[in-house]
Amino acid sequence: MIALNFPEPMFKTRYHDNKPQIFDEIRLKWVVLQPEEWVRQNFISWLTNINLIPSGLISIEKTISLGSLSKRFDLLIYDKIHQPWMMVECKAQGVELTESTLRQILLYNMVVPVKYIVITNGHLCYVADRIKEEWLFTFPTFPS
């Protein structure tokens, strides 16, 4: 488990139709500022500002097919040769990270295999590293 220390927020926010919105710098659009979105945007800021991961290597809320089901992952980070490297599942701050959350991202990983999976609620962050066919909880370093 990793305790997150997000950088000081520099987000653009506004109210539109009486709903708070935040400008997503990667998708280049305003999105409703739900509790999960707050965690996602802060995690993206942490990735890009603290870990210096280029924003062009981050994909947000893309649809994947699981048999006849369509699901959307929260974040997919690619390595420098544009291969899927890390998948992140974000939950709202008040949501407990459970085995169900882990199963959710492992299911997505069956469609888009990655070296690292992350689940976070903005307070806590669990990172697992795929070593052979086992997952070990660790902290990744972006590939050089």
- Choose between 133 and 39: higher pLDDT: 39
* pLDDT tens digit sequence for 5-63: 676 778 999 999 999 999 999 999 999 999 999 999 999 999 998 889 999 999 999 99
Give the confidence band of 130 by pLDDT, cuts at 50, 70, 90.
confident
What is the gyration radius of the CA atoms in the chain, in angstroms? 15
pLDDT at 129: 85
Residues 125-137 have a mean pLDDT of: 74
- What are the b/e assignments for 21-60, b being 16+ CB within 10 Å? bbebbeeeeeeebeebbbbbbbbbbbbbeeeebeeebbbb
Task: Confirm if 38 and 122 have CB atoms less than 8 A apart.
Answer: yes
DSSP secondary structure letters along 13-31:
EEEETTEEEEEETTTTEEE
| pLDDT at res. 80 | 93
The full set of domains in the chain, from first to last, is 2-137 (3.40.1350)
Average pLDDT of the segment spanning 88-92: 96
The average pLDDT across 112-117 equals: 94
Number of H helices, E strands in the chain: 2, 12
Query: What is the average per-residue pLDDT within 78-92?
Result: 96
From CA 49, how far away is CA 112, in angstroms rounded? 25
Q: What pLDDT does 143 receive?
A: 58
